[in-house]
Amino acid sequence: MELSVFGVLGSDVADKTCINFSFVPSEYWPLFVLFFYVLSPIPYCIARRLVDDTDAMSNACKELAIFLTTGIVVSAFGLPVVFARANLIKWGACALVLTGNTVIFATILGFFLVFGSNDDFSWQQW
């Protein structure tokens, strides 16, 4: 339940950024980070399906997925800064988007820590 509350809180911060700091109705640049929220868990989910966890050695597929996920997360934090430096959004909006990013990615990490194990109650059974 807490994960859903934090997910809604993080996406609400991203939505409020466009409302509070854009005085022109067509400025929805901060919402481009929503693509990163959707893309970030995909490489790791694909690697979990392809990789057998019984191997004690490090797996190249899983490490590639973690590398791609890290690149997506870093891009999500970098895009608002680029928009703010290009004067597409204000720095206050950039700070709110970065706060929303922190909450959303912490929620995604929490989801994988709670439901990512291979015990009886797992999201992989669904």
Residue 71 lies in a domain: yes
Planar angle of CA 116, 118, 123, nearest 5 degrees: 50
Residue 78 lies in a domain: yes
Residue 104 lies in a domain: yes
Q: What is the pLDDT along the chain (126 residues), one digit of tens a residue?
A: 555 666 666 666 666 665 655 545 556 777 788 889 889 989 988 888 887 666 655 678 888 988 999 999 999 999 999 988 998 888 888 888 898 888 888 888 888 887 766 555 555 544
Helix 60-85 to helix 91-115 angle (10° resolution) is 160
What pLDDT, in 10s, does the model give residues 31-53?
A: 788 889 889 989 988 888 887 66
Residue 69 lies in a domain: yes
Ramachandran bin of 30, using left for φ above 0, alpha for ψ from -120 to 50, beta for the remaining angles: alpha
Residue 89 lies in a domain: yes
Count of alpha carbons within 13 angstroms of residue 48, beta-carbon side: 14
Residue 44 lies in a domain: no
Beta strand segments in 16-124, E? none
Residue 116 lies in a domain: yes
In angstroms, the CA 28 to CA 26 distance is 6
Domain that holds residue 84: 53-122
Q: Phi and psi dihedrals of 44, rounded to 5? A: -70, -35
Residue 85 lies in a domain: yes
In angstroms, the CA 44 to CA 62 distance is 7
User: Can you give the pTM of this predicted structure?
Assistant: 0.74
Distances (CA, A) of 103 to 10, 11, 124: 5, 9, 24
**Structurally, how many domains does the chain consist of?**
1
